[in-house]
Every structure is written in C-alpha cells, then in structure tokens.
Chains A and B, each alone.
Chain A
Amino acid sequence: MKKVFERPKALTQAEFSYCPGCGHSIIHRMIAEVMDELNITDSTIGVCPVGCAVFMYDYMSCDMIEAAHGRAPAVATGVKRVLPDSFVWAYQGDGDLASIGTAEIIHAAARGEKISVIFINNTTYGMTGGQMAPTTLVGQRASTCPAGRDPDKTGYPLRICEMLATLDGPSYLARVTPTSPAGLVKTKGSITRAFQNQLDGISFSLVEVLSNCPTHWRMTPIESFKWIDENMVPVYPLGVFVDR
C-alpha cells in the first residue's frame, strides 16, 4: 500500500510541547516537509529563538543552535559565513525578531545574508505569558495592556515585511497565513521559495507567518484562526513584497 502521510524525516521523534492548536506546530511540520522535499536536512543548521519555539532543537533532526533572544540572524550569519555550502535557517517570534532583535534582522536583510528566516507573528509574547508585543494590534488586549493597546502610549504595530521591502538586500519577502487550506498551500510554497533562494545562492529571504496564540488570546484554535483573518490580515496584508 502506498504511504500518503508520514512523519517528515526532518523531525525527530520528540513530541511538540506547544499548546493544542498552536501555529508553531503547523509551521514546524511544514519546514520539516520542505527540508525533506529539498533533501537538505543533512546539510542544514537551524537557529531557533528565545520564545515558545525555544525547544525547536529537540524537534528538528538537523544540526541546531539555540540563539540568545533576538540574535538568531547574527548567529545564522556567523554560521553561513564560515560554512557557505551549508543551508542555514532561523526561526523567530515577533518579540524576538521585531522587538529585541530589530537591529539583527534589519542588518542581516540589508547585507543580503544568504539565510532564510521564518518569522512567526502571533502579536504576543507567548512564552512569557502574553505580554504586549511590537506587533500587538491597536486595541488588542495583552497582559501588559489589559485595557487594550493604546497607541497614544505605546504606538502602532510594526510591519516587518514592508520595512524590509525598502531594502535592496532581500530577494524574497512574503507574508502568509495557514488559516485555510489555500493559505496552507501558500505558506508551504513561500517557505519552499525562500529555501530555494538560498540554495540558488541568491540572498536573504523571510517568510512572515501570521500565526495564533490560542492560550493567551483566550480563544479556541478555530476562533483564533478566524481572528487572524478578520483582525490581523487587515493590518498585515498578505502577499509577496519582494521577489527577485
């Protein structure tokens, strides 16, 4: 009988520790599938963030580095520069990438560093308990803005793809969301494209995934996906921002 569904080889046997319905699980599996399909697992060094995905090194069967909070693009740069023939990706949350690590991501992108970054935007600091993130929507409640984000005091959400699109360094920038079957296909296509760009030696690529945090949003996974479509997508339009 033909096997139509199996565990990607790029995943270890370890069980994910994510909350039920969390987007991190979906995207981990997708990255693993793409690594299998491109046959790159044994030449890959993955760099994981500080955030809920901090244990990603237990889940991926490729070589892994756990970076300091926000520094994954710098760590990935260090690896890629000394091992130019290896495949290097970094995985970061929005607190990690868009707050404490803004300098690192902007300059890795500006240098056109030949790495691929998967950016999980869930509008919150999941790991530390659902505090406000730079990507939290105006009016959205978080544990450090219980009355909702007040732009008078805390400003406005950061649009990373649009910011990086002003630079000449990146070769591929896309924002996707896995909230529908079509979205899943697009998300996987974008990750594949980002990885292929690195394999072709082109330059920096980043895929921003609008994701959920059902736990801190206090929603069911299904409600959270609906919330992404209705509230996040208008602020963070989906699409390909750079493709060259």
Chain B
Amino acid sequence: MANRKLMKGNEAICYGAVAAGCDAFFGYPITPQNEIPELMSTLMPANNAVFLQAESEVSAINMVYGAASAGKRAMTSSSSPGISLKQEGISYIAGAELPCVIVNVQRGGPGLGNTQAGQADYFQTVKGGGHGDYKVLTLAPWSAQECYEFMPLAFDLADQYRGPVAILMDAIIGQMLEAVELHGDFPSIDRSKTWAVTGTRGRAHNVINSLWIDVNVMEELNIRLQARYRTAERDEVRYAEYQVDDADLVLVAYGCPARVCRTVVDLARQEGLKVGLFRPITLYPFPTARIAEIAKSGSQFMAVEMSCGQMVEDVKLAVNGAAEVLFYGRTGGVVPTPTEVFNFVVEYGVSSCAADKRA
C-alpha cells in the first residue's frame, strides 16, 4: 500500500528529491519556495545527504557545481530573482557537462516583483538564460503529484544528458495542497560517473572545466552539447492532451494556467464548443512535432500563460503558419480565472461556425 499524504507542491519536490537519491541540496531563502529548503533541512540529513543554506543564490549554484563535480546528485531551488543570480553558474554547469537539478517556483516580475504566481521566466529557462550555446531540459509539473514524480525523472535526465535540468513551477503549483502518492517506485539508471573528481586513487587525474582556449576544441564541446540536445528533442518530449482530438480550438498551457484551462475546456464543452487542452510537460524540448500535427488537422491554438506571451512564441514556431495562434495572458502575479479565459475563448477563440452553433 503506497503512502498517500496531503502536501504542497514544494514539499512534494523534497520527497521526490529523496526518492531520486539526491545527495546534496544547496539553497537560499526566497518566497514562494521556502518550504523546499525548510523541509530539506531535515529530510536531507535524515537520508544521509547534505543540506546547506548558502550565503546567496550565486554560492548555492556554485556549491551545486562542486557537489556535481564530485559525481553526486545535487540540486538547488529558488524563485525568479534568485534564478537570475544562478545563471552564471548554470552556464558553467552546462559548459562543464555536469548533471544537476534546479527548481524554479516562479513569481511575479520583473525586478523584485512579488511573491504571487508567474510564468515570465519561460524564456530565461528554456532559451538558455545564461551566456553561451546551451539548453536546459525543462519539466513543468501541474500538480503536487507531478512535483514528486518529476524529481527522479529530472535527476535521471540530468545524468543521462550530463547537464542541468530545470523544474519550472509557479507559486500556485508550489503552494497548493494536494494528495500525493509517495510510491517510491522509480526506474534506476546507471549512475556511474567516471569523469567525476573524487580523488585520483591510482587513476589519471580528472578535470572539471568549461574553459577551452583552442576555439576548435570549444566548438567541439558545443557540437557535442547540440548533439545531446537533438537526442533529447527526439526522445524526451513529453506532453498531455485533454479533448484535443476533435477540438476546433486547442488551448496550450502549462503549470497553473493548464489547470485553469482544463476547467475552461469543461465549460466550453458544456456549451457545445469543441475546445481542448494541450499541456506541454517538457518545455524544452518543446512538443513541436505534435503541435504541428494537430495544426494540420485544422484546429486553432490559444496559448494561455501567466506572462505577456512567451511560450506562445514556441507554439507559433511549431504551428509555422498552418493555423491561427491566439494568446491570452495575465501577468505580474495575476492568475487568470476560468471565467475570464472562457469569455475570451467565446469572444475571440472559437471559429465562427462553432460560435454559431452556440448561438
């Protein structure tokens, strides 16, 4: 009998980290993710793992860099302003080909913003964020259960692709209480790391580095990274669909807005409007091919985000002119209500024939 518990998404992240065999957590307080370092401060030592509150997000990500260099499963968590500070370290981690997991419980921005839910770090997360030609594999949970499930997945992807993996959440997903099945049933992958610095003990020395003075060697690293990203784009795309097959209008949303949109789909269907929900689970790699396929069947799209329109650009790239792509967003910490999204769908979203049916 699995262990079912009521908890916040942030807490589920911690139990997921333990299930993943996380060896070390380094963080710095920032709302709305404080439950993570707070719970990790007891969960990590209880599982013979390291917890350390760093002096800043800059230090936290560099401690992750150190622990990951030693071949351990290391993570950090933060919220938008703190994630901005981590970008230098994330770029180094990508350059040095180190696995790690970074949780971002996004809040309203820019600047200090506020502690309410936001999704305006999408570009920063999936387009690179720091300097250089790198990508961060990004998972977007929409429930506390997925917060739990995605941590072992994130660590596996990090090990497999030797790079940073992001869990992109928002304040609602982090704070919302839900029942979580702590089943502990996760596949185990090969975690041996022959490149790690652990002390030579007889072997030749290992070096963790992101400096390549020879431009051709530097280019080779970039080509190697890009090859990995192509593999991830082929093998790691994840998404979920709800009433998409016959939809005239497909809402595209992740995290909290995806939950809002699920309600919108139900409201619309009650009114006879063929609306569906497409929920990207991997934001990078983005489910481009599947969206393109849906576009060919004649559906319209509407991205719904808690930003001024970021993911919508990837939807447009996927659709590539084959269908109309609309956008509805609230930002600055405002969460869209199902009613306002539904009204927008009715006013602008469904094709005239569907609207006629409704009339």
Contacts and interface: CB of A to CB of B under 8 A. Distances in A.
A74 B198 contact: no
Contacts of A182: none
B30 interface: no
B63 A74 contact: yes
Contact of A83 (B55, B198, B209): B198
B89 A66 contact: no
Nearest to B60: A74
In this complex, the interface size class of chain A, counting residues with CB under 8 Å from chain B, is 35 or more
Given A61-B205, A64-B208, A79 B69 contact: yes
A78 B65 contact: yes
Contacts of B143: none
Interface in B107-138: none
Given A60-B205, A63-B206, A103-B56, A82 B67 contact: yes
Residue among A62, A63, A80, A104 with max Cβ neighbours from chain B (10 Å)? A63
Given A68-B89, A77-B66, A79-B67, A42 B202 contact: yes
Interface in A181-213: none
Interface of B: 23-24, 26, 50, 52, 54-56, 58-60, 62-70, 72, 74, 88-89, 92, 96, 197-202, 205-211
A6 B201 CA distance: 22
Interface of A: 12, 41-45, 47, 54, 57-58, 60-68, 71, 74-83, 86-87, 103-104, 106-107
B70 A78 contact: yes
A86 B59 contact: no
Contact of A66 (B59, B70, B202, B209): B209
Given A64-B197, A68-B88, A107-B59, A77 B202 contact: no
B24 A78 contact: yes
A74 B62 contact: yes
Contacts of B200: 41-42, 61-63
A74 B59 CA distance: 5
A107 B57 CA distance: 13
Contacts of B96: 66
Nearest to A45: B197
B66 A79 contact: yes
A65 B202 contact: no
B55 A75 contact: no
A54 B59 CA distance: 19
B197 A104 contact: no
A117 B222 CA distance: 33
B37 to A, nearest CB: 15
Given A66-B211, A68-B62, A78-B64, A86 B198 contact: yes
A42 B201 contact: yes
B208 A104 contact: no
Contacts of A77: 52, 59, 63, 66
Given A62-B200, A80-B66, 6 more contacts: A43-B199, A47-B66, A60-B205, A64-B209, A66-B207, A78-B66
Contact of A75 (B24, B62, B72, B202): B62
